[in-house]
Amino acid sequence: MTSSITSDVIHRFAEDAGFDLVGVCSATEPFAGLNFYRSWLARGNHAGMNYLVQHAELKANLDSVLPGVRSAIVVGANYAQPNPPTPGMPRIARYALGRDYHRVMRKRLAQVAKELSSLMPNARFRACVDSAPVFERELASRAGLGWFGKSTMLINSHRGSWFLIGVLLTDADLPPDRPSEGGCGTCQSCIDACPTGAIVQMEDRWSVDARKCISYWTIEDPAGRPPELRTAEWNFGCDICQEVCPFNSPREHQPLRARDTVDQDFLPRGPEPSLATIRNFTEGQWDAWTRGRAIRRAGFAGWRRNVTAPDETRP
């Protein structure tokens, strides 16, 4: 279905819904990263995330997500904020400090879809946030939101990498934006800073080996990180590769870079309990603390494991 909706209208609807970045791209072109993704899986870099294998062929064709899809509206929400380590307190990746971003982004994408539906009543939409079999970052790069850094994070030359990505697929033909351009050059700060060497070169680009990644160990891996690396530094996720990235450092000539968010959905709801308190949580207390937050993903047993130092597990 061909639409007469302009790019300005799409951008306005997305910005009104609370998104900081927005772009549009075709959803019918082959994915340039598909073969690389297959190689990444073949090497076992997905660790225990077997659902990624199951999604591999679905990702190749967006018709599996929305039959007849023609365009993708891709949005970004800034979650940059101070998050210094504090002795005795949990260390949580910035994206998980506030409300569960899946819920926040889906609700906002639904608002965009509703606004567009008022102008295109016959169009169909499907919101995708992280869990659908979609190459979000490639679509975001095509739509002009950013380019792939060596850390594999999507980097916007003016805003850095502290933004969450959401995708709104539609069967309407919408005017595309220009793809992103950029690169890291000779910088390899993220590679040097990763304490476990999880950022590895594969073929002609860089990738993350989940088997070495702190985020994987603290969120997805039932066994958790190896005991010798089970410290209190990161209890859920990890931000090290983004913290050292020069594109996340404020610059006088680029005032938007690394600007802290004022979005209440992504800011902490209140003071976090101490590590000592979390270690003694009952499952009911943990349930109340994690309700509506992304940190719930680790599960009660996983959180207990993540906040327990190696010497506390010895008989």
- Residues 263-311: pLDDT tens digits? 999 999 889 999 999 999 999 999 999 999 999 999 999 999 888 865 5
pLDDT at 233: 85
Residue 313 above 60 pLDDT? no
Question: Worst-scoring range by mean pLDDT, 98-102, 201-205, 206-210?
Answer: 201-205
pLDDT at 125: 98
Residue 2 above 80 pLDDT? no
Residue 250 above 80 pLDDT? no
Q: Dump the DSSP string for 96-108.
A: GSSS-HHHHHHHH
All residues at 6 or more sequence positions from 32 whose CB lies less than 8 Å from its CB, including other chains: 138
Ramachandran sector of residue 143 (left: φ over 0; alpha: ψ -120 to 50; beta: rest)? alpha
pLDDT at 314: 40
Which residue in the block uniquely carries the two structure tokens 């509206």? 73
Nearest Cα to Cα of residue 298 among 306, 289, 288, 308: 306
Percent of the chain with pLDDT strictly greater than 90? 81
Residue 56's pLDDT band (cuts 50, 70, 90)? confident
Using a 10 angstrom Cβ sphere, with 0-12 exposed, 13-18 middle and 19 or more buried, the burial of residue 201 is exposed
Q: How far apart are CA 69 and CA 64, in angstroms?
A: 9
Three-class SS state of 311: helix
pLDDT at 310: 56
Q: How far apart are CA 242 and CA 244, in angstroms?
A: 5
Ramachandran sector of residue 248 (left: φ over 0; alpha: ψ -120 to 50; beta: rest)? alpha
Residue 98's pLDDT band (cuts 50, 70, 90)? very high
The whole-chain average pLDDT of the chain stands at 91
All residues at 6 or more sequence positions from 191 whose CB lies less than 8 Å from its CB, including other chains: 150, 151, 199, 206
pLDDT at 203: 86
Residue 231 above 80 pLDDT? no
pLDDT at 276: 94
Cα distances (angstroms) measured from residue 268 to each of 56, 74, 272, 295: 35, 25, 8, 12
Residue 222's pLDDT band (cuts 50, 70, 90)? confident
Three-class SS state of 229: helix
What integer is the mean pLDDT of 232-245? 91
Q: At 292, give phi and psi (nearest 5°).
A: 75, 15
Active site residues: 130
Q: Which token pair is 76?
A: 């970004």
pLDDT at 315: 37
